[in-house]
Amino acid sequence: NRVAVIGLGYIGLPTAAILATNGIEVIGVDVSQRTVDAVNAGQVPFVEPDLGVHVSGAVSQGHLKATTSTPQAEAYIVAVPTPFQEDRSADLSYIESAARGIAPQLQGGELLILESTSPPGATEHMANYILNLRPDLSLDGSDSRPAILVAHCPERVLPGRVMIELVTNDRIVGGMTPEAAESAKNLYSVFCQGEILTTDAVTAEMAKLVENSYRDVNIAFANELSVISEKLGIDVWELIRLANHHPRVNILQPGPGVGGHCIAVDPWFIVAAAPEESRLIRTAREVNDSKPEWVIEQAMSAFAGLPESAELSVLGLAFKANIDDLRESPAIEIASRLADALPERRLNVAEPHIETLPRQLANRRNVEFVSVEESIQRSHVVLVLVDHDAVKEVGPELLDGKVLIDTRGSFDVRAREVLGSREG
Ligand code: SAJ
């Protein structure tokens, strides 16, 4: 049996690869010829540990092929973007265009799974969209029209750990009908060793959004504590470490804001669906979105009284540690706004996981792309935006005499030593 995976991005490609390495014939479909060519050459167009081995293995065994046109298959997995729009609702046009590709191939009996993170009702929307194009089909075999099985199976893997979590995470499978849920469960059991829990489609959609909102709300709590602590002259890292010794307290870590394409987005889908009722979820989003501004103010005031030649070290641009993913990264927003706000000062930007500066920072007179060590050496003020291992491994002597703004607590203990020695 053959599975078509529509969308070969951060989710679609790992899913295609893991199905293929488990012996399923997989056709990957993508609108980008570059992506298709890369996959057919056994290559991965982005960084994700272990994905390369899976893709090259599956391609060389002939189990995985990529193409730009949707083929006939027994099962379709749709993993396309659902970006959020100006009004913070989700843009379903990529799902619709995937559906237009699939609809003419259907004969009845196929399984269609939406994996993209979706606002409540999106799976039903996709099903109706297809049935509009194919009125000869149905969801339940009614009026003797052949049934297609439509389900939602949200992806919950953590970037950087995708190939492990695809196998070990529990999965939620929501069917438009119970038969669709069962059929999707069978497909995922090919590679998923976690529990596969079945429900209806809209509950599955909400479950995914709620998981990410839960994390967003908890990060907002940590971020609020960091702002309060600064005002009260308390070390927030020590505060959280101590409070977390309580058996029922587990506070997350503050940071420069929340990045990535999921946690900073998904809660808005809930707010859009129930604006009056989503008060805490909305406020958490606002707290996290306001954190970059606060960090910028901290960095600006660190230069008060410093000579005009004093430079700024910016450590890390990715949206979190040890990955190369810059999407929705608060670090980029902070760095580019500081470059605007400090036109006369040099920003020594280090991001060990990428080769060149992103467009927001490229070709700026006062921004230079350098190594972590060089960035620190050149600068008076050191602003840590990402706790990459390569940043944490820096020798403490490099930081001596620098003004340190560590938004991630990476140099926690050393920071106090440095400040202590300066005061002494
Ligand atoms: N962050 C903090 N403090 C923390 C934890 C995270 O500031 O204590 C920040 C990170 O630096 C980053 C952002 O939050 O900027 C999000 O990072 P993350 O590691 O929490 O999550 P993502 O976006 O990489 O992946 C999340 C995961 N969801 C949950 O943990 C509930 C993942 O399982 C989902 O599959 C993924 O979203 C997704 O695709 O939805």
| 111 and 146 part of one domain | yes
Structural element, H or E, at residue 284: helix 279-302
**169 Cα nearest atom in ligand 1:** 33
Range of the domain at 57: 2-194
Which protein residue's CA is at the shortest distance from atom 7 of ligand 1?
A: 255
Distance CA 43, CA 36 (A): 10
List the catalytic residues. 208, 262
**257 Cα nearest atom in ligand 1:** 7
**266 Cα nearest atom in ligand 1:** 40
By most ligand atoms within 8 Å of CB, the mutation choice from 171, 227, 258, 385 for ligand 1 is 258
Distance CA 177, CA 182 (A): 9
| 368 and 405 part of one domain | yes
SS3 for 66?
Answer: strand
Residue 412 pLDDT: 59
SS3 for 183?
Answer: helix
Q: Name 84's bridge partners.
A: 90
Sheet (strand 312-315) strand order: 367-369, 347-350, 312-315, 381-384, 403-406
User: pTM for this one?
Assistant: 0.90
By most ligand atoms within 8 Å of CB, the mutation choice from 262, 268, 322 for ligand 1 is 262
What is the 378 CA–ligand 1 centroid distance (Å)? 32
Residue 193 pLDDT: 98
CB atoms within 10 A of CB 31: 16
Is residue 203 in some structural domain?
A: no
Structural element, H or E, at residue 5: strand 2-6
For residue 138, what is the domain's CATH number? 3.40.50.720
What is the 3-class SS of 9-46, one letter each residue? CCCHHHHHHHHHHCCCEEEEECCCHHHHHHHHCCCCCC
Radius of gyration for the alpha carbons in the chain, expressed in angstroms and rounded: 24
134-170: b or e for each residue (b if 16 or more CB lie within 10 Å)?
Answer: beebbbeeeeebebbbbbbbbbbbebbebbebbeebe
Quote the longest CA-to-CA distance of the chain: 85
Is residue 348 in some structural domain?
A: yes
**Which tokens go with 287?**
């707290």
Q: Which residue's entry shows tokens 């080769």?
A: 355
Alpha-carbon distances, residue 300 vs 173, 312, 369 (angstroms): 48, 10, 20
| 238 and 186 part of one domain | no
What is the 263 CA–ligand 1 centroid distance (Å)? 6
Which protein residue's CA is at the shortest distance from atom 34 of ligand 1?
A: 156
**330 Cα nearest atom in ligand 1:** 15
Total residues belonging to the chain: 424
Is residue 202 in some structural domain?
A: no
| 87 and 8 part of one domain | yes
What is the 422 CA–ligand 1 centroid distance (Å)? 36
**Which is it for strands 171-175 and 149-152: parallel, antiparallel or unpaired?**
antiparallel
Structural element, H or E, at residue 273: helix 266-273
DSSP label at residue 366:
T
* Residues near ligand 1 (Cβ within 6 A): 117, 155-159, 211-212, 215, 219, 252-253, 255, 258-260, 262-263, 319-320
Q: Rounded to the nearest 5 degrees, what angle is found at the Cα of 317, between the Cα atoms of 313 and 318?
A: 150
ipTM of the complex: 0.96
| 165 and 221 part of one domain | no
| 217 and 309 part of one domain | yes
Distance CA 332, CA 343 (A): 17
What is the 215 CA–ligand 1 centroid distance (Å)? 7
**Which tokens go with 414?**
């050393």
Residue 415 pLDDT: 44
Is residue 370 in some structural domain?
A: yes
**156 Cα nearest atom in ligand 1:** 35
Sheet (strand 2-6) strand order: 64-67, 25-29, 2-6, 75-78, 111-114, 149-152, 171-175, 196-200
Q: Rounded to the nearest 5 degrees, what angle is found at the Cα of 349, between the Cα atoms of 301 and 258?
A: 70
| 135 and 263 part of one domain | no
By most ligand atoms within 8 Å of CB, the mutation choice from 216, 320, 323 for ligand 1 is 320
One digit per residue, the tens of pLDDT, for the chain of length 424 reads 899 999 999 999 999 999 999 999 999 999 999 999 999 999 998 888 999 999 999 999 999 999 999 999 999 999 999 998 888 889 999 999 999 999 999 999 999 999 999 999 999 999 999 999 999 999 999 999 999 999 999 999 998 899 999 999 999 999 999 999 999 999 999 999 999 999 999 999 999 999 999 999 999 999 999 999 999 999 999 999 999 999 999 999 999 999 998 999 999 999 999 999 999 999 999 999 999 999 999 999 999 989 989 999 999 999 999 988 998 999 999 999 999 999 999 999 999 999 999 999 999 999 999 999 999 999 999 999 999 999 999 988 999 999 999 999 987 554 444 444 433 3
| 217 and 280 part of one domain | yes
Is residue 244 in some structural domain?
A: yes
> For the range 185-188, what are the long-range contacts, defined as Cβ-Cβ under 8 Å and sequence gap of 24 or more?
187/3, 187/75, 187/111, 187/113, 188/153
By most ligand atoms within 8 Å of CB, the mutation choice from 46, 80, 212, 322 for ligand 1 is 212
Closest Cα to residue 171, out of 265, 77, 258, 251? 77
What is the 320 CA–ligand 1 centroid distance (Å)? 8
Number of domains in the chain: 2
Residues with Cβ < 8 Å from 409, sequence gap 6 or more?
Answer: 236, 237, 253, 254, 387
What is the 17 CA–ligand 1 centroid distance (Å)? 23
| 218 and 335 part of one domain | yes
Alpha helices in 82-121 (DSSP H): 93-102
